[in-house]
Amino acid sequence: MPEWFWLVKNVDFLTIYYATQLVRCAAWSVLLAAIVALLRKTVCRERTFLRGAVWTAFALTPFLGRLRLYYEWEPAARLLAWPMMDADLYRWFCRIYMAGVVASAVCMFGKRRRLWRAVSEMETTSAGGVRVRVTDFKLTPFTVGLFRPAIVLPRLVLEQYGEEERALILEHERTHIRLGHLWAGFAWDVLRCLLWVNPLLALLRRQLCADMEDICDRVCIERSGRDAHAYGLVLLKSIRLLRGGEDVPLAVTYAGEKAFPEMKRRMEKIVGFRPYGRKRAAGLAAGTLVAVLAALVLIRAHSYGHANENTDLMVCQYDGGGSIISTETDVLRGMISYDDGFVYVEREPFEAFLEKRGAEGEISIIFGGFYKLPGMGGAANACFYERGAQEGVVRIPYENRMKRWDFVLYQLL
Could you give the CA distance from residue 203 to residue 187 in angstroms, rounded to a whole number?
A: 16
Q: Is the pLDDT of residue 239 over 90?
A: no
SS3 of residue 342 by DSSP: strand
Residue 211 dihedral angles phi and psi, to the nearest 5°: -70, -35
- Predicted confidence band of residue 262 (pLDDT cuts 50, 70, 90): low
Residue-level pLDDT at 301: 94
Calculate mean pLDDT across residues 53-77. 90
Q: What is the pLDDT of residues 307-365, one digit of tens each?
A: 898 889 999 988 666 788 988 889 899 899 998 889 999 988 998 898 888 888 888 99
Q: Which amino acid is at 240?
A: R
Q: How many residues does the chain have?
A: 413
For residue 250, pLDDT beyond 90:
no
Written in H, E and C, the secondary structure of 283-326 is: HHHHHHHHHHHHHHHHHHHCECCCCEECCCEEEEEECCCEEEEE
Confidence grade of residue 247 (pLDDT, cut at 50, 70, 90): very low
SS3 149: coil
Percent of all residues in the chain with a pLDDT value above 70, rounded to a whole number: 88
Angle (CA) 365-370-375 rounded to 5° is 90
Q: 383: number of CA atoms within 13 Å, CB side? A: 23
Q: Is the pLDDT of residue 255 over 50?
A: no
Q: How sure is the predictor about 298, in pLDDT bands with cuts at 50, 70 and 90?
A: very high
How much is the pTM? 0.83
What value does the mean pLDDT take over residues 55-73? 92
pLDDT computed for residue 23 by the predictor? 93
Is 50 exceeded by the pLDDT of residue 257? Answer: no
pLDDT at position 82, please? 67
Q: Which residue has the higher pLDDT, 384 or 163?
A: 384
pLDDT at 217: 85
Q: For the residues 33-38, what does the mean pLDDT come to?
A: 94
Q: In this predicted structure, what is the pLDDT of residue 251?
A: 34
